[in-house]
Structure 1
């Protein structure tokens, strides 16, 4: 009976862990704003992505307030601003604020979103901080006052992805409760087990299998996201770079699981060798 209970507890713990670990990763790196910014910040250091994003941001600047007599002088200034924006001292802060504003648009309560965001079902990137940075440089170069917009939105991905994000933000935090269940189940398995080395060994095998399962699952998810083109070159570049960063981040978790699994295998074998079993009592 003890062996049966231990086996059921191990199976339950492994099943809960299979869901808990990806859920916790999603909550820490996607749902939580600081985690999202930390994950996506290095994208702003990619030179090709920087230049395209800066060009797209500058291209949205409203130059209607500039007199027609000066209109011919504006385009060279716009081109220069797009080329130099990423070298401006304020660019890192503007890029971080872009990520924070975009995250809030994607994960905020729909009731608190502007109508133009609620009306779309795809994810939204708000590059207004970058536009404001470019507008400031153009104003300095031309001596003309230009008002930056409060929002400059770029849709990312396909329709209905916002609904997916809403589900992720609702269910990802449950991963912590599942993790508590994992700990309880595995402790129960160890307490009631007749052969604790076998429990530890089997947990090592399970950890290795889960690492492989998570790796395959993350690859399938990445391929699905990358296969859905948005039709916007800047949006697709952001998506491609972000998916690569997310895959590398989750890969660190799967690698940690594989290392832990290998360690548990060794520990289980060592315990088995050190305690080969009870010897019969001789009289």
Structure 2
């Protein structure tokens, strides 16, 4: 009976851990606005993101200039300036600030939107254009930077993204992640208490971590296909940025799963050592005195 109880608790611990790891990663990296901003800033250090953003900014500046009667603005000059801007040390922080706005748009729907935006997922790049290097270049042609310059992230007709669509995740995400971690810890302790051998219980918990880590790697490969399908709704430079962001997210998830695998390996080793020491102790107790 004790064995069945320990087995049931081990299974529940494994399931809880399988929920806790992705929930904690998602809360820390995606749902939390500061975590997402940090994630975006780290992705902005990738050359592919820098080049794609330089091209996007060049196109937006030239287009904005043409709409305001500055059709003679040299695109090559603008491209050289935007490339230098995206490669400087301040770009990751400003890229993160732009992504904070997009994050707020998706998770809270508190960002003020233009009535012509048609509820598309937009990123305001005006703060980037206010960088000194870009502002000086635009000032040379007397082109004033607008307070807001939104760039659509998805194709309007095919996008299913709407303002505040992920609001429930922002509300319940912290509770789910913390709750899953607490439940996992409690179940792990109960598994240790119910098991006849603490060493074997530690080995079993280590195996749980190894199973979850391996399953997570497999799940990422399956989820990558859905991500690639979602990327078909993006285009141009935004597609290149999205590719890098998803790849960066996958690398981050791999790091978390590798830590879970490492923890599982440590628990297995500790469990084996504990079982061996326990076995030696029992042998000494049962050996007759000479």
- Deviation of residue 16 (structure 1)? 0.9
Question: Which residue in the other structure is 1:172 paired with?
Answer: 173
Q: What CA RMSD, in Å, does the superposition of the two structures yield over aligned residues?
A: 3.0
Q: Does 1:91 align with 2:91?
A: yes
Q: Does 1:268 align with 2:282?
A: no
Distance 1:128 1:5 in 2: 60
Q: Is 2:9–2:187's contact at 8 Å kept on the other side of the alignment? A: yes
Q: Is 1:208–1:262's contact at 8 Å kept on the other side of the alignment? A: yes
Gaps of 5+ in 1: none
- 3-state SS of 1:25 partner: helix
Q: Is 1:58–1:135's contact at 8 Å kept on the other side of the alignment? A: no
Question: Which residue in the other structure is 1:38 paired with?
Answer: 38
* TM-score normalised to structure 1 length: 0.83
- Deviation of residue 49 (structure 1)? 2.8
Q: Does 1:28 align with 2:28?
A: yes
* TM-score normalised to structure 2 length: 0.82
Distance 1:116 1:191 in 2: 62
Q: Does 1:259 align with 2:262?
A: yes
Question: Which residue in the other structure is 2:126 paired with?
Answer: 128
| Aligned pairs (5 A) from 1:59-78 | 59-61=59-61, 62-63=64-65, 71-73=71-73, 75=75, 77-78=77-78
Distance 1:76 1:6 in 2: 69
Q: Does 1:150 align with 2:148?
A: yes
Distance 1:118 1:169 in 2: 23
Distance 2:18 2:43 in 1: 29
Closer, same or farther: CA 77–270 of 1 in aligned 2, 3 Å: closer
Closer, same or farther: CA 36–117 of 1 in aligned 2, 3 Å: farther
Q: Is 1:17–1:178's contact at 8 Å kept on the other side of the alignment? A: yes
Distance 1:79 1:15 in 2: 51
- Deviation of residue 131 (structure 1)? 3.3
Question: Which residue in the other structure is 1:183 paired with?
Answer: 185
Q: Is 1:155–1:235's contact at 8 Å kept on the other side of the alignment? A: yes
Count how many residue pairs are aligned between Structure 1 and Structure 2: 277
Q: Does 1:212 align with 2:210?
A: no
- 3-state SS of 1:200 partner: helix
